[in-house]
């Protein structure tokens, strides 16, 4: 993808998030997004399958990265060390520059039940993929499922804190703090 | 609700689960469920708002029970002791007699994306309610959210094991084992 195309993708996302925020997701059309970005509908559909995908395009790549992180962790790494590697991978995949878009995105999803369902399905799929990767390291089905659910919970709650208004801490730090807190509350 | 009415409710549920299993959820109508139960559509709608509610009617009562369990736990109970009380409450709310219905229900939901989304929303709502109850005990937002997510994960995974073909262990035992395993994997 050339520089211009990458730019088109970003401009479309920015226009879409602004319109979803102002008018609501349901009330926005692809034609309006393309127009606001100064591009054609045809260009929109070269980058996104539909207007919902603007909000969820990152999920597939994120899932692939974290599954790779689990698979390529040192053989001797403990389950918690592997989870830490997964969280580092997430923090790298969602850089600080994405914070404002992420805030807008989260606010749009929060008020739309259909989008919330979609988000939950994506997280459940991520958990399933992570469980598969943990099993690939020789963990039992039960341990793998529990660790995957825990990892996704820590990611979800860390991410919610990261996009909360006024929060200045990095995503990596918020997820690490959440994991430490989880170990404290479940350890007592 | 009189004895006859309670019986009607159970007969409708049984008929619905059989039809959803044989034909699929989408392909089954309320008229067919009522006919198979030897009752009228009008009676169906006195018990269930729609054909989806046959699968989810228990969620509200379950949520109420677990929130009550958290609120009424002794002041000095540790977070893990409160979670254990919640799991006991779940095990009581979903008795052994419900196992076969629960198996059918789970199989119907597993093959229908819309129902899976609904199930995820119900679990997310349960997690939110539990987090509120934990905050009510003076826990921080972060600790409450993490503990709620953990509790729901343990319930979800224990329940999946309970409805798995051939599994004979009780739901209470499976959830307790899952919680112990979670503490082991996150403690390492």
Is pLDDT above 80 for B126?
yes
Look at residue B183 in the predicted model and tell me its pLDDT: 94
**Crossing angle of the two packed helices B99-110 and B113-135, in degrees rounded to 10:** 120
Look at residue A88 in the predicted model and tell me its pLDDT: 96
Instruction: Tell me whether residues B116 and A121 touch, CB distance under 8 A.
Output: yes
pLDDT class for B188, splitting at 50, 70, 90?
low
Residue among B150, B154, B184 whose CB faces A182 most closely: B150
Residue among A117, A156, A178 whose CB faces B117 most closely: A117
> Average model confidence (pLDDT) for chain B?
94
Instruction: Tell me whether residues B142 and A79 touch, CB distance under 8 A.
Output: no
**Crossing angle of the two packed helices B141-163 and A141-163, in degrees rounded to 10:** 150
- Neighboring chain A residues of B154 at a CB cutoff of 8 Å: 146
Instruction: Encode pLDDT of B44-70 as tens digits.
Output: 999 999 999 999 999 999 999 999 999
Instruction: Tell me whether residues A143 and B116 touch, CB distance under 8 A.
Output: no
Is pLDDT above 90 for B43?
yes
b/e burial code for range B103-128 (CB count within 10 A of at least 16 → b): bbbbebbeebeebbbbbbbbbbebbe
Residue among B78, B117, B187 whose CB faces A183 most closely: B187
pLDDT class for B127, splitting at 50, 70, 90?
very high
Q: Let me know: does A157 contact A179? Beta carbons within 8 Å.
A: no
Residue among B78, B139, B181 whose CB faces A146 most closely: B181
Ramachandran bin of A144, using left for φ above 0, alpha for ψ from -120 to 50, beta for the remaining angles: alpha
Look at residue B1 in the predicted model and tell me its pLDDT: 47
| pTM for this entry | 0.92
Instruction: Tell me whether residues A157 and B143 touch, CB distance under 8 A.
Output: no
Residue written as tokens 């109850």? B133
- Neighboring chain A residues of B156 at a CB cutoff of 8 Å: 149
Cα-based distances in Å from A1 to A7, A60, A61, A159, B76:
10, 18, 16, 29, 60
d(CA A111, CA B6): 37
**Residue numbers of chain A with a pLDDT score lower than 50:** 1
> What's the token pair of residue B45?
């709608």
Q: Return the residue in B139, B146, B180 with the most chain A beta carbons within 10 A, the one to mutate for interface testing.
A: B146
Residues of chain B whose C-beta is under 8 A from some C-beta in A? Answer: 78-80, 113, 116-118, 120-121, 124, 139-140, 142-143, 145-147, 149-150, 153-154, 156-157, 161, 177-178, 181-188
Instruction: Tell me whether residues A161 and B142 touch, CB distance under 8 A.
Output: yes
Average pLDDT over residues B4-26: 91
* H/E segment holding residue A84: helix A79-93
Residues 6+ apart with CB under 8 A from B25: B51, B108, B112, B115
Look at residue A187 in the predicted model and tell me its pLDDT: 86
Chain A: closest CA distance from residue B70 (Å)? 15
> What's the token pair of residue B139?
């826990």
Instruction: Tell me whether residues B157 and A150 touch, CB distance under 8 A.
Output: no
Chain A: closest CA distance from residue B114 (Å)? 9
> What's the token pair of residue B144?
């409450």
- Neighboring chain B residues of A118 at a CB cutoff of 8 Å: 117
Ramachandran bin of A100, using left for φ above 0, alpha for ψ from -120 to 50, beta for the remaining angles: alpha
Cα-based distances in Å from B76 to B79, B80, B138, B144, B147:
9, 11, 12, 16, 17
DSSP state letters, A30-51: HHHHHHHTT--HHHHHHH-SST
Q: Let me know: does A48 contact A33? Beta carbons within 8 Å.
A: no
Chain B: closest CA distance from residue A107 (Å)? 17
* Cα-based angle B109, A127, A77 (whole degrees, multiple of 5): 150
Instruction: Tell me whether residues B79 and A186 touch, CB distance under 8 A.
Output: yes
């Amino acid at each position: 993808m050339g520089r211009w195309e990458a730019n088109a993708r970003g401009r479309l996302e920015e226009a879409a998030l602004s319109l979803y925020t102002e008018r609501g997701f349901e009330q926005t059309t692809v034609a309006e997004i393309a127009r606001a970005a100064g591009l054609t509908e045809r260009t929109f559909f070269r980058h996104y399958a539909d207007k919902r995908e603007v909000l969820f395009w990152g999920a597939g790549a994120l899932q692939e990265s974290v599954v790779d992180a689990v698979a390529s962790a040192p053989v001797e790494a403990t389950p918690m060390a592997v989870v830490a590697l997964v969280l580092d991978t997430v923090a790298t995949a969602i850089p600080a520059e994405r914070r404002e878009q992420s805030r807008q995105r989260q606010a749009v999803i929060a008020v739309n039940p259909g989008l919330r369902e979609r988000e939950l399905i994506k997280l459940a799929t991520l958990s399933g993929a992570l469980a598969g990767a943990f099993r690939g390291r020789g963990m039992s089905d039960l341990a793998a499922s529990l660790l995957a659910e825990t990892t996704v919970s820590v990611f979800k709650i860390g991410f919610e804190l990261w996009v909360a208004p006024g929060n200045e801490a990095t995503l990596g730090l918020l997820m690490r703090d959440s994991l430490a807190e989880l170990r404290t509350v479940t350890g007592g």
